[in-house]
Amino acid sequence: MTAARYVLTISAGTAESLTAYAQGLAAFLASNGPRAFGHTATLPGVAATLLNFRRCAPHRLALSAATLAEAAAKLAVFGEHTSNPKLLAPQGLYANVVDRSAFDGVEDQDLDYLLALAASARHDQLARLWSVGFPVDWRHVYPELATERPVYLPPPPLHRRRYWPGPRTEGPPERTTTAAPPQAVVPEQAQPARLLTELTTLPTPLRVGRICDYLQDHIARLLDYPQGELPHTDSGFFDLGMSSVHLAQLRQHVIADTGFEPAETSAFDHPTIAAFATHLAHELAGDNEAAPGPELPLLHALGQDDIDRLSPHELERALAEVLS
Domain range annotation of the chain: 6-147, 190-323
Neighbours of 300 (CB within 10 A): 7
| Coil, strand or helix at 73 | helix
Q: What are phi and psi of 280, to 5 degrees?
A: -65, -40
Q: What is the chain's Cα-based Rg?
A: 25
Rounded Cα–Cα distance for residues 62 and 59 (Å): 10
pLDDT at 35: 59
CATH topology of domain 6-147: Alpha-Beta Plaits (3.30.70)
Residue type, 277: A
CB neighbours of 32 closer than 8 A, spacing ≥ 6? Answer: none
Please, what is the end-to-end C-alpha distance for the chain in angstroms? 61
pLDDT at 226: 75
Return the bridge partners of 279, or none.
Answer: none
pLDDT at 179: 47
CB neighbours of 254 closer than 8 A, spacing ≥ 6? Answer: 260, 262, 280
Whether the Cβ atoms of residue 247 and residue 237 lie closer than 8 Å to each other:
yes
| Coil, strand or helix at 128 | helix
pLDDT at 56: 84
Rounded Cα–Cα distance for residues 24 and 30 (Å): 10
Overall residue count recorded for the chain in this entry: 324
Q: What are phi and psi of 7, to 5 degrees?
A: -80, 140
CA separation, residue 222 to residues 33, 247, 250, 253, 287 (Å)? 29, 10, 8, 11, 28
Sort 277 into a burial class: Cβ within 10 Å, 0-12 / 13-18 / 19+: buried
Rounded Cα–Cα distance for residues 96 and 130 (Å): 9
pLDDT at 292: 37
Rounded Cα–Cα distance for residues 283 and 57 (Å): 38
User: Tens place of pLDDT for every residue, the chain, 324 residues?
Assistant: 567 999 999 998 888 989 999 999 999 898 855 555 456 789 999 999 999 888 888 899 999 999 999 999 999 999 998 878 788 999 999 999 987 766 666 667 788 889 999 999 999 999 999 999 888 999 999 999 999 888 888 877 655 444 445 455 455 555 544 444 444 444 444 455 566 777 777 766 678 888 888 899 889 888 887 777 888 888 888 888 888 888 888 888 888 887 788 888 888 888 899 889 888 888 887 644 433 333 444 455 555 665 665 555 556 556 655 555
Please, how many CA atoms are within 13 Å of residue 118, restricted to the half-sphere of its CB? 18
Which ranges of the chain would DSSP assign to H, the alpha helix?
15-30, 43-52, 68-81, 108-119, 123-131, 138-141, 190-201, 204-222, 244-258, 266-269, 273-288, 304-309, 312-323
pTM: 0.52
Rounded Cα–Cα distance for residues 237 and 251 (Å): 13
CATH number of the domain located at residue range(s) 190-323 in this protein? 1.10.1200.10
pLDDT at 161: 47
Which DSSP letter does residue 155 get? Answer: P
